[in-house]
Amino acid sequence: MWPSSQASKMLTVLLALIVLYCVAMDTMLFLRIRYYKIDVYDEIAEANATERAKGNLRSYESAVWVPCVVNPLCYPTVKALLVDHVNHYLYGPLSAAVDLGLRISHGVPFITPNMISFFHVFVALVGAKLLTCQSLTTRRIGIVLFQLRMFLDDLDGHVARERKNIKGEKSEVGTLGYWVDGVCDLIGVAAMVAGIVLYLRSNPPRRGYRNTPLSTLPYHQLKEINSSEDIEKEHAASEVGISYKTKVSFRRVVQVVGLFSGQMVISSIAWNRYIDAYQELLEGTAWDVTRRAAVFRSGVFFSATGMWRVVNPHSYLHLLSLAVFSDKTWGFLRAVHHTGFLCLVAAVVASEYYVVSMRRLLGDPS
């Protein structure tokens, strides 16, 4: 087992590399959208002689060496621009590579996307059980299982799109697969939250009071100091210098976790709403294709979708996973259980304003 300091340094370096990779991929995605063809707007790209003369709107497939079957930049769609960075740039290509290697989509017809969804629910339930354990190593294994669940969530979507010959991310609202995937995701997230709550119930966080006279502590906190383990004495002969560590009540744990869970619910509802709204505006057939192409390629739209790449429910789960893995679960939950709502409100207000502005810009077809 590595020393904790060495493990922390390695984790920090790994996270820094992932952040740099995602920033680089975002930059390349923006350039890809601006200067290469996009399938849904091909008719405009072919007809636009001015853009062709500038050298823009070329075929992206002919300009890159990474095959489109595993390249997350090849088929940009509205939903792809709202998917979180880890799923889009890591799990997405990995699921495509696994599917290519195992030939699930075209060589193993009895494995359906719904079967994959049901299996990742089982993985989540096992992971939730591990999250309740005392051992940090065991809880870390549980987090690895939850990341496997998120990868399988990507894989079931990839297999479904491959079998329907759909290129790029797209939500098929109302289909059986859409609802099965949503329910399985909900069960997986609920299992993770339940595992964390049960762990915090058995191992309540501590609130510390350093160099605080006993007479100044609130009565309800004095009642919680009920064993010698709850009091650390730096000077046995004096009350001065004592560090009191009181347990956080389970009610407080439920409150904080509940507020975080509420953020995830709001994030999920809003994220799906804007996927549907942007798909209807930019990938629907009722709107002027020239204007749709211009909006899709604009930096404003890229920024608007970029907000949801950060505050969508999958990003919340990745951050929570990192907190549990680092044994900072309670600190993370306390840090975001109020401030996270501010970020969500800002994202929703900005998105609503932008949807209204897009409708005016594109022109109401009715």
Distance CA 21, CA 25 (A): 6
CB 32 within 8 A of CB 60: yes
Encoded amino acid at 337, one letter? H
CB 242 within 8 A of CB 217: no
Task: Decide if pLDDT at 317 tops 80.
Answer: yes
Task: Decide if pLDDT at 223 tops 60.
Answer: no
Top-level CATH class of 4-206+248-362?
Answer: mainly alpha
Distance CA 113, CA 154 (A): 10
| pLDDT digit string, tens, across residues 42-77 | 654 444 545 544 555 678 888 888 888 899 999 999
- Within a 13 Å sphere around the CA of 266, how many CA atoms are in the beta-carbon half? 17
| pLDDT digit string, tens, across residues 131-178 | 999 999 999 999 999 999 999 999 999 999 888 888 888 877 767 778
| Whether the model pTM is above 0.85 | no
Q: Where are the domains of the chain?
A: 4-206+248-362
Give the pLDDT of residue 227: 45
Distance CA 314, CA 87 (A): 8
